[in-house]
């Protein structure tokens, strides 16, 4: 049996890793999230206070028709075409944005925006988003080496950190303030990542990562200052440039608004909702008790006992495995797993197998999350690279989700936990939507996509695919 085949088959005696997350469902959520990714270090994310007006952040109560139209303009031609041809997808996009905005409002209600670490993370967002948008629209970096903010020179970055880029300011004081501001930003970002379980508690950024973060921080602030200067002198600009600047402001305001909502929805779901949605062992036990058809372990055990008796009475283990085992990965090979490394199998299964002498059969059934196992040890070795060969007959207690016919069978406890978690999610999301009504129109305008645009897009994609040369000639035979 190959290593890949063995690993795949062994899943029937290995526990699956539990996945804990609360995700806003839907295809268009991914599209919205894609729109909101603006560059290399967009962990700056959300604005807590408007850096110009100083007004406190307030979660939006909806989007206007014009804002939805602006949003759709930032999609690619393929997505625009799909929206124009499918009214249901048009509606789905609006519904997903509603969910995000409602979740953000609930986060604000429950005080998420008052958290100090969140504030440290949020207060740089307007700068980051505005600077990145301006850089892409007006500086227009070009060439293979032109990344975000490539127009900002090393000399400008050096002057920024030394506080020598502002006339009339005390360079020493300014440099100290900027170092402190950056440290607040990075400390808040690390704290949030640790709270969300994205990085280990004892993990610290490397010197290279800090240098990259500091570099992007400085470039964002430098370009944002350029934006402020351009906006201040907008009245003196030619009409064409005025219009371009106006469009830039509208697009950026919308992106910041959506960034705020998306971040708060994500932060709230990871740090607040996740705890509310936890399903306890008591919840699972009660559900199984109230739905005895799920926990039909008694009949399964009786069947496994019958098979065990046949084996202990001298029956051919391999033939009985082919007849009775419900492990598709080993059934046809007579229940055999060979070359099994220590720790590869379910701990209870492995402990019972290795307690046997080669050729012996366990006198009792072994219960795992996957069902009841009749186990026979074929061989085992000792030492650093110890491995063993084992046969088993599985009488499965796993069940399939009737609402997901393509899904894999899972242990009863896992199925119930998934079901209860899903039901809680639906119930909580419904309550959030009802308590935080938002308005998002579905009659927004969608740009018409020409066949020429689609053709150009396909050509660009083809150019991005690496060209493969002719196959290499075969090696000469000896």
What tens digit of pLDDT does each residue of 284-302 get? Answer: 999 988 988 776 778 899 9
Q: What is the pLDDT of residue 464?
A: 63
Taking 90 as the threshold, does the pLDDT of residue 139 lie above it? no
Separation CA 229–CA 440 (nearest Å): 34
Separation of alpha carbons 111 and 97, rounded Å? 21
Q: How far apart are CA 160 and CA 112, in angstroms?
A: 32
Task: For the beta carbon of residue 430, count every other beta carbon within 10 angstroms.
Answer: 10
Residue 19 CB burial class (10 angstroms; 0-12, 13-18, ≥19): exposed
Reported as a single tens digit per residue, the pLDDT across 393-413 is 999 998 888 888 787 888 888
| Rounded CA separation 157/150 (Å) | 11
Closest of 331, 400, 344, 366 to residue 15, by C-alpha: 344
Domain ranges of the chain: 3-17+295-398, 36-278+422-460
The whole-number average pLDDT for the span 251-256 is 89
Residue 305 has pLDDT above 50, yes or no: yes
Average pLDDT, stretch 160-176? 91
Q: Determine the Cα–Cα distance for residues 326 and 333; give it in Å rounded to an integer.
A: 12
Q: What is the model's pLDDT at position 16?
A: 39
Q: Give bridge partners of residue 394 from the DSSP assignment.
A: 373
Q: What pLDDT score was predicted for residue 142?
A: 65
Q: How far, in Å, CA of 317 to CA of 307, rounded?
A: 10
First to last CA, the chain: 30
| pLDDT at position 196 over 50 | yes
Strand, coil or helix: 380: strand
Q: Phi, psi (5° rounding) for residue 329?
A: -75, -20
pLDDT at 295: 65
**Nearest Cα residue to 263 out of 107, 133, 148:** 107
Percent of the chain predicted with pLDDT > 70: 83
**CA-based R_g, the chain, Å:** 30
β-sheet bridge partners, residue 456: none
Edge-to-edge strand ranges of the sheet holding 366-368? 336-341, 387-396, 371-380, 366-368
Mean pLDDT score, 128-139: 88
* Confidence check: pLDDT of 474 > 70: no
52 contacts 127 by C-beta, under 8 angstroms: no
d(CA 424, CA 283) in angstroms, rounded, equals 12
Which residues neighbour 323 within 8 Å (Cβ) at sequence distance 6 or greater?
Answer: none
| Per-residue model confidence as pLDDT tens digits over 317-375 | 999 999 999 999 999 999 999 999 999 999 999 999 999 999 999 999 999 989 999 99
161 vs 171: CA distance, rounded Å: 9
Nearest to 392 by CA among 361, 368, 347: 361
Range in 175-189, 210-224, 319-333, 395-409 with the lowest mean pLDDT:
395-409
Mean pLDDT across the stretch 121-140? 84
pLDDT score at 466:
55
Among the residue ranges 43-52, 269-278, 459-468, the one predicted with the least confidence is: 43-52
Q: Work out the mean pLDDT of the chain and round it to a whole number.
A: 83
The answer to whether 73 and 449 are in contact (CB under 8 A) is: no
Q: How far apart are CA 93 and CA 192, in angstroms?
A: 29
Within its chain, how far is the Cα of 189 from the centroid? 17
Average pLDDT over residues 95-121: 89
- Please determine, for residue 307, whether its predicted confidence score (pLDDT) is greater than 70: yes
Out of 3.30.1330.200, 2.40.340.10, 3.10.50.40, 1.10.10.10, which CATH number does the structure's domain 3-17+295-398 have? 3.10.50.40
């Amino acid at each position: 049996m190959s290593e890949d085949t063995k690993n795949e088959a062994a899943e029937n005696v290995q526990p699956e890793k539990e996945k804990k997350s609360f995700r806003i469902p839907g295809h268009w959520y991914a599209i919205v999230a894609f729109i909101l990714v603006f560059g290399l270090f967009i962990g700056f994310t959300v604005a807590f206070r408007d850096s110009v007006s100083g007004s406190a952040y307030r979660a939006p109560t909806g989007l206007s028709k014009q804002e939805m139209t602006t949003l759709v303009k930032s999609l690619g031609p393929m997505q625009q075409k799909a929206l124009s041809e499918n009214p249901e997808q048009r509606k789905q996009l609006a519904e997903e944005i509603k969910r995000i905005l409602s979740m953000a409002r609930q986060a604000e209600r429950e005080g998420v925006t008052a958290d100090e670490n969140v504030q440290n993370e949020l207060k740089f967002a307007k700068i980051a988003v505005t600077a990145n948008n301006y850089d892409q629209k007006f500086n227009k970096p070009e060439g293979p080496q032109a990344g975000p903010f490539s127009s900002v020179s090393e000399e400008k970055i050096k002057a920024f950190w030394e506080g020598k880029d502002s006339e009339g300011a005390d360079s020493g004081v300014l440099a100290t303030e900027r170092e402190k501001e950056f440290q607040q930003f990075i400390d808040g970002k690390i704290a949030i990542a640790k709270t969300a379980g994205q990085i280990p508690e004892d993990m610290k950024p490397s010197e290279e990562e800090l240098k990259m973060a500091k570099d992007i921080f400085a470039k964002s602030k430098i370009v944002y200052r350029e934006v402020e200067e351009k906006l201040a002198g907008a009245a003196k600009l030619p009409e064409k440039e005025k219009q371009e600047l106006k469009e830039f402001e509208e697009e950026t305001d919308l992106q910041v608004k959506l960034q705020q909502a998306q971040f708060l929805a994500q932060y709230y779901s990871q740090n607040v909702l996740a705890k509310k949605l936890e399903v306890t062992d008591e919840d699972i036990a009660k559900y199984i008790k109230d739905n005895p058809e799920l926990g039909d372990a008694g009949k399964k055990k009786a069947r496994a006992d019958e098979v065990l008796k046949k084996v202990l009475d001298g029956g051919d283990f391999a033939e009985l495995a082919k007849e009775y085992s419900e492990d598709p990965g080993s059934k046809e090979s007579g229940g055999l797993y060979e070359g099994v490394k220590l720790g590869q199998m379910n701990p209870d299964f492995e402990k019972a197998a290795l307690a046997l002498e080669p050729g012996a059969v366990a006198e009792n059934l072994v219960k795992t999350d996957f069902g009841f196992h009749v186990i026979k040890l074929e061989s085992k070795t000792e030492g650093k690279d110890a491995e063993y060969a084992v046969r088993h007959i599985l009488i499965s207690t796993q069940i399939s989700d009737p609402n997901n016919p393509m899904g894999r069978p899972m242990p009863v406890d896992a199925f119930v936990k998934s079901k209860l978690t899903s039901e809680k999610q639906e119930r909580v999301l419904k309550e959030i939507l009802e308590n935080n009504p938002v308005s998002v129109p579905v009659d927004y305008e969608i740009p018409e996509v020409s066949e020429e645009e689609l053709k150009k897009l396909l050509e660009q994609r083809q150019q991005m695919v690496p060209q493969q040369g002719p196959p290499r000639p075969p090696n000469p035979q000896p």
